[in-house]
Amino acid sequence: MSARAADSAQDAATVAADGDNLLGLPRAALEQWFAERGHKPFHARQLMQWVHQRQVLDFESMTDLAKPLRAELAANATLELPRIINRHKSTDGTFKWLMAAKNGQAIETVFIPEADRGTLCISSQVGCALDCAFCATAKQGFNSNLTTAEIVGQVWTAIAELPRRANGESAITNVVFMGMGEPLANYRSVVPALQLLLDDHAYGLSRRRVTLSTSGLVPQLDKLAQECNVALAVSLHAPDDDLRDRLVPINKIHPIEDLLDACWRYVAAFGNRHVTFEYVMLDGVNDQREHADALARLLAGKPAKVNLIPFNPFPGTEFERSPDAVIDRFRDRLRFRNVVTTVRRTRGDDIDAACGQLAGRVKDRVRRRLGDR
């Protein structure tokens, strides 16, 4: 199949997934939607600007569209958002929404405000099938993939709900796919969502302000390198296969060497980039000096940055957070070995909104093989 034919098939699949809910259609798919009904492609750009930039969902209010077209849209299309079930605000300003997904499921979305940025953490699945040992979402099991409209709807809703900055711009400056689910296991819905986030006629975010986090589905990561240029974060969490097999079971299918090779291919495809490796700090499990040295050997001379994440406990977990002094020593050891390293500050843990704590509401779990799409 040619690249153009593959793109057309992808667009058609997206239209089928979201039906006539136009909220989730990237520009190419929306142009196709209009063309199939005998309309000019430029109407897609007009509609995207109304919906994603001006936050208008009423077709009749889209005044630069002809009245007959507005009537046709009202009769044949929708702009449907996920429904908010509840909201929680942390003492540190972090905000969490529980939003309804299809079939009685629910997902969680988190906004983390900082002085110089506002980061929205969005979900891509109801639950997760990858079964990482230290993650609350994994303990919920897996139900279904989100549609592109359900993914983008989280961004739309958060922009609408949050107060704007002093300059009138959205409070959201960065979007990270670090909520519930493995984004690359829902590739067909996630890539169109990325396209909307980057499109100047939609959200217009720069590529360095959109981050996809993955546990390491190598074939999909290679495919992403051919289709979409965004920042990449990889959930590594261990410096050797034996330990990572325990913590991140997808490692049994895509071991560390294969995963790292795919990361370097991704960087090479775009140039002048690095990969952030996420490393959750588990007391007595992966936080010793020998682990730091092994991790440094893996990443030596590579375009890599390590983000150490203090473990955020949840009910029923077997793990405990590494003490702050241990985390600091681990960071310093990596820096001594010339690995750029930061420590993520825990935010929103009082409302279970911190990294690894998102659980949503997953009913009717479906068991799937690791890495299934």
Q: Known catalytic residue: 128?
A: no
What pLDDT sits at residue 347?
Answer: 61
Fill in the amino acid letter for 184: L
Paired tokens of 96: 């969490």
Paired tokens of 306: 């390590």
pLDDT one-digit tens code per residue, 274-322: 999 999 999 999 999 999 999 999 999 999 999 999 998 888 889 999 9
What value does the mean pLDDT take over residues 97-107?
90
Q: Which position has the higher pLDDT, 22 or 345? A: 22
Residue 7 has pLDDT above 50, yes or no: no
What value does the mean pLDDT take over residues 196-200?
98
Fill in the amino acid letter for 355: C
What value does the mean pLDDT take over residues 139-148?
88
Cα 234 from chain centre: 12
Fill in the amino acid letter for 213: S
Which of 80, 108, 150, 278 is an active site residue? Answer: 108
pLDDT one-digit tens code per residue, 351-372: 454 454 444 444 544 444 343 3
305 neighbors 341 (Cβ within 8 angstroms): yes
pTM: 0.88
Q: How confident is the model at residue 162 (pLDDT cuts 50, 70, 90)?
A: very high
Strand order in the sheet with 304-310: 84-89, 95-100, 106-113, 118-121, 174-177, 210-214, 231-235, 275-281, 304-310, 340-343
Residue 26 has pLDDT above 50, yes or no: yes
Sign of CA dihedral 317, 323, 326, 332: positive
Distance CA 67, CA 69 (A): 5
Mark residue 254 as left, alpha or beta (left: phi above 0; alpha: psi -120 to 50; beta: remaining): beta
In 305-349, which residue ranges form alpha helices assigned H by DSSP? 324-336
| Closest listed residue to residue 373, CA positions, set 183, 150, 153, 121 | 183
62 neighbors 56 (Cβ within 8 angstroms): yes
CA distances to 11, 107, 132, 369 from 49, rounded to whole Å, are: 20, 27, 39, 40
Average confidence score pLDDT of the chain: 88
Which of 121, 128, 135, 355 is an active site residue? Answer: 355
Domains and CATH numbers, the chain: 3-76 (1.10.150.530), 84-351 (3.20.20.70)
What pLDDT sits at residue 277?
Answer: 98
Q: Known catalytic residue: 355?
A: yes
pLDDT exceeding 90 applies to what percent of the chain?
Answer: 74
What value does the mean pLDDT take over residues 92-98?
92
Contacts of 320 (CB under 8 A, 6+ apart): 282, 283, 284, 311, 313
Lowest mean pLDDT across 6-10, 85-89, 90-94, 100-104:
6-10
What pLDDT sits at residue 237?
Answer: 97
Residue 232 has pLDDT above 80, yes or no: yes
Contacts of 148 (CB under 8 A, 6+ apart): 14, 17, 18, 24, 25, 26, 189, 190, 192, 193, 196
Report DSSP state, residue 341.
Answer: E
What value does the mean pLDDT take over residues 208-233?
96
Residue 339 has pLDDT above 60, yes or no: yes
What pLDDT sits at residue 224?
Answer: 96
**β-strands 340-343, 304-310 pairing:** parallel
Residue 196 has pLDDT above 50, yes or no: yes
What value does the mean pLDDT take over residues 239-251?
97
What pLDDT sits at residue 19?
Answer: 58
Q: How confident is the model at residue 39 (pLDDT cuts 50, 70, 90)?
A: very high
Q: Which position has the higher pLDDT, 48 or 8? A: 48
| Closest listed residue to residue 102, CA positions, set 64, 59, 146 | 146
Lowest mean pLDDT across 30-39, 134-143, 309-318:
134-143
